[in-house]
């Protein structure tokens, strides 16, 4: 295959990975990479950390682990890949297998013939038609050039006002970056919660609290009407339907869409998500053209549905698969689970699989677990809280999704679930995983195993529970029930849910005073994390009570108003 010609369009993640894989498998292949920007093969996900100052030089985002910058010279000398950066691919002639391109700096027209073509054209930031969006100081974050421009602006207006339009992953990460640079930050999100596509409300609420704890002003459920500027066309304010927020810099981050113009123009099939349609080998509807990364559709491994989930990790994996298949290895890409993770100051939030909202929409019979606990034994001084929400099909126990948030080790727990889900694992499998245990790393019964045990209890009707949202609904509807707090009086004084239905009866006194509880009423027991709440449910059922539940997650996971002693 020494005369095998491959052209790769796109030089950020999927494209360079595919090109490098091809050269490793077939060193004699003739590989050309076309990139419209100046900078190649960089970590786009690292840009918020460059803006924050944690990454000191943007070149670090382009370096190999040993510090070599992956520029065009590197790709030619080390990889033997011909790189044409600052070059725009304008047209694909599929019949003659030619890519027509334009050299940006000189206007020179170029033609590249190919045997196989890789489309890794990425995504485009959505720019809504907001009046004033073209003012100076209004930014998007798509490339390193964008990041450098933002950082220069922040340096100029350090200590002043930044407004972020959009409460998704990029918006939240840049929020922290702006705060670390001393800016007064406001986040405007038109939906009723932050990270709405990432997590369910009882998990994402902790992001909201962490942002507020760090001085971020939130405008949730507000729609931007206009961006105002001064006489010099510099941004000065962002106006919503309810408020006006002063702004010296604005980031518009409401999402991205696949960049498919080249594919569309040459007649390749575009799917319902707007991405390029590919098969399991990442071939497009032209057998000599492959596509991967943010420009292509994906398949959900759980549901087999077509989805659009642009992630740098996925782009790199797909680049490798494309490289394999161009070299005739017949490697399949199995799809994705929608795994994502985000750092929000000291808090982590992560998810994989389906959310509860998605399970309801698909009419799946499921159980949920909401369990908070320290990430290692409580007796260690560095133990930190994490909250796990696990979702499993009922009665099969198949794991459908997981969300984790907290200040402790969240990624480890989520990745365990990803591994289980990748092999159609159930909670019955998960509860017996032989995970590494020592006190510096986890409790003897790891948090995720506890979550699996709780799910099993629910599926087998051993543990009957309700969610905080269900309890809240009962309270607001005026339902008459006993909300049984089985903590100690000291705990009650420090933090409590205040409602006339709450009855304080410590677990150690429950058997002694059980006759004080009416058997004809519904009882919902809870404690700090609802371990004792579950114990109370079992005790009461053993004494003949027939309408008893415990509340998932206890006071810690109660996302609504509660008394906390200052």
Where does a domain end: 224, 239, 254? Answer: 254
Same domain, 420 and 508: no
Same domain, 283 and 427: no
Same domain, 65 and 37: yes
C-alpha span between 254 and 197 (Å, rounded)? 12
Same domain, 161 and 310: no
- 93-105 in b/e burial notation, b at 16+ Cβ within 10 A? eeeebbbebbeee
Q: Is 191 exposed, middle or buried (0-12, 13-18, 19+ CB in 10 A)?
A: middle
Sign of CA pseudo-dihedral 349, 354, 356, 361: positive
DSSP-assigned beta bridge partners for residue 93: 98
The H or E element spanning position 508 is helix 507-510
In a domain, 527, yes or no: yes
In a domain, 430, yes or no: yes
Same domain, 159 and 225: yes
| The pLDDT of residue 56 | 78
Same domain, 372 and 452: yes
In a domain, 49, yes or no: no
Same domain, 250 and 262: no
pTM above 0.75, yes or no: yes
Give phi and psi for 119, each to the nearest 5: -100, 115
Same domain, 177 and 219: yes
Strand order in the sheet with 465-466: 465-466, 548-551, 523-526, 482-485, 502-504
Residue for token pair 């602006």: 153
In a domain, 334, yes or no: no
Same domain, 108 and 10: yes
Residues assigned a catalytic role: 45
Where does a domain end: 434, 459, 484? Answer: 459
In a domain, 387, yes or no: yes
C-alpha separations of 311 from 46, 103, 341, 386, 534 in Å:
13, 29, 11, 25, 39
> For every residue of 283-326, which 3-state class applies, written as one string?
ECCCCCEEECHHHECEEECCCCCEECCCCHHHHHHHHHHHHHHH
C-alpha separations of 146 from 22, 44, 137, 182 in Å:
30, 11, 11, 20
| The pLDDT of residue 119 | 98
Which tokens is 563 given?
């008394």
| The pLDDT of residue 2 | 61
Same domain, 352 and 442: yes
Q: Are 526 and 483 in contact (CB under 8 A)?
A: yes
In a domain, 423, yes or no: yes
| The pLDDT of residue 511 | 96
In a domain, 338, yes or no: no
CATH number, domain of 148, equals 3.50.50.60
Give phi and psi for 339, each to the nearest 5: -70, 135
Same domain, 312 and 250: no
In a domain, 58, yes or no: yes
Per-residue pLDDT of the chain (566 residues), as tens digits, is 467 999 999 998 999 999 999 999 999 999 999 999 877 777 778 888 889 888 877 777 776 776 666 777 788 888 889 999 999 999 999 999 999 999 999 999 999 999 999 999 999 999 999 999 999 999 999 888 899 999 999 999 988 999 999 999 999 999 999 999 999 999 999 999 999 999 999 999 999 999 999 999 999 999 999 999 999 999 999 999 999 999 999 999 999 999 999 999 999 999 999 999 999 999 999 999 999 999 999 999 999 999 999 999 999 999 999 999 999 999 999 999 999 999 999 999 999 999 999 999 999 999 999 999 999 999 999 999 999 999 999 999 999 999 999 999 999 999 999 999 999 999 999 999 999 999 999 999 999 999 999 999 999 999 999 999 999 999 999 999 999 999 999 999 999 999 999 999 999 999 999 999 999 999 999 999 999 999 999 999 999 999 999 999 999 999 999 999 98
Count: domains in the chain: 4
CATH number, domain of 547, equals 3.40.250.10
Q: Are 467 and 551 in contact (CB under 8 A)?
A: yes
Q: Are 279 and 258 in contact (CB under 8 A)?
A: no
Sign of CA pseudo-dihedral 199, 202, 205, 210: negative
| The pLDDT of residue 42 | 76
| The pLDDT of residue 66 | 66
Where does a domain end: 410, 442, 459? Answer: 459
Strand order in the sheet with 224-229: 224-229, 235-240, 244-246
Same domain, 155 and 237: yes
Which tokens is 239 given?
């106006």
**Domain interval for residue 427:** 346-459
């Amino acid at each position: 295959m020494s005369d095998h010609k491959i052209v790769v369009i796109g030089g950020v993640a999927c494209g360079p990975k595919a090109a490098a894989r091809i050269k490793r498998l077939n060193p004699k292949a003739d590989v050309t990479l076309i990139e419209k920007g100046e900078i190649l093969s960089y970590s786009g996900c690292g840009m918020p950390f460059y803006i924050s100052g944690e990454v000191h030089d943007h070149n670090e985002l382009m370096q190999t682990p040993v510090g070599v910058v992956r520029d065009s010279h590197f790709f030619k000398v080390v990889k033997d890949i011909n790189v044409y950066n600052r070059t725009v691919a304008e047209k694909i002639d599929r019949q003659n297998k030619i890519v027509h391109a334009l050299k940006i700096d000189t206007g020179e027209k170029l033609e590249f013939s190919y045997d196989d073509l890789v489309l890794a054209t990425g995504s485009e930031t959505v720019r809504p038609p907001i009046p004033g969006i073209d003012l100076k100081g209004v930014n998007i974050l798509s490339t390193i050039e964008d990041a450098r421009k933002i950082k220069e602006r922040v340096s100029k207006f350090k200590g002043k006002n930044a407004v972020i339009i959009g409460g998704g992953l990029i918006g939240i990460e840049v929020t922290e970056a702006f705060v670390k640079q001393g800016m007064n930050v406001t986040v405007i999100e038109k939906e009723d919660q932050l990270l709405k596509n990432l997590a369910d409300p009882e998990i994402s609420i902790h992001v909201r609290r962490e942002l507020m704890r760090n001085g971020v002003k939130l405008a949730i459920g507000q729609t931007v009407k206009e961006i105002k500027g001064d006489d010099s066309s510099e941004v000065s304010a962002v106006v919503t339907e309810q408020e006006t927020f002063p702004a010296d810099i604005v980031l518009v981050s409401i999402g991205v869409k696949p960049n498919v113009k080249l594919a569309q123009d040459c007649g390749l099939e575009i799917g319902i998500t707007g991405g390029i349609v590919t098969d399991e080998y990442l071939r497009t509807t032209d057998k000599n053209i492959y596509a991967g990364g943010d420009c292509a559709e994906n398949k959900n491994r759980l549901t087999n549905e077509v989805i659009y989930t642009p992630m740098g990790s996925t782009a790199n994996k797909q680049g490798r698969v494309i490289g394999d298949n161009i070299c005739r290895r017949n490697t399949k890409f199995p799809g994705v689970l929608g795994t994502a993770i985000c750092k929000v100051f000291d808090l982590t939030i992560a998810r994989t699989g389906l959310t509860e909202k998605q399970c309801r929409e698909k009419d799946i019979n499921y159980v949920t677990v909401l369990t908070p606990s320290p990430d290692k034994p409580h007796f260690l001084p560095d133990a930190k809280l994490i909250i796990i929400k696990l979702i499993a099909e009922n009665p099969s126990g198949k794991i459908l999704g997981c969300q984790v948030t907290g200040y402790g080790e969240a990624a480890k727990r989520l990745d365990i679930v990803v591994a289980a889900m990748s092999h159609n694992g159930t909670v019955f499998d998960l509860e017996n995983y032989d995970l590494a245990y020592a006190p510096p790393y986890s409790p003897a019964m790891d948090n995720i195993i506890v979550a699996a045990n709780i799910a099993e209890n629910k599926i087998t009707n051993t543990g009957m529970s309700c969610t905080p949202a269900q309890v809240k609904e009962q309270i607001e509807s005026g339902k008459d029930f006993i909300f049984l707090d089985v903590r100690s009086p000291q705990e009650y004084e420090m933090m409590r849910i205040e409602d006339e239905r709450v009855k304080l009866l410590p677990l150690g006194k429950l058997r002694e005073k059980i006759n004080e509880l009416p058997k004809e009423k519904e009882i919902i027991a809870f404690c700090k994390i609802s371990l004792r709440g579950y114990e109370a449910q079992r005790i009461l059922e053993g004494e003949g009570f027939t309408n008893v539940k415990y509340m998932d997650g206890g006071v810690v996971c109660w996302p609504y108003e509660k008394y906390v002693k200052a």
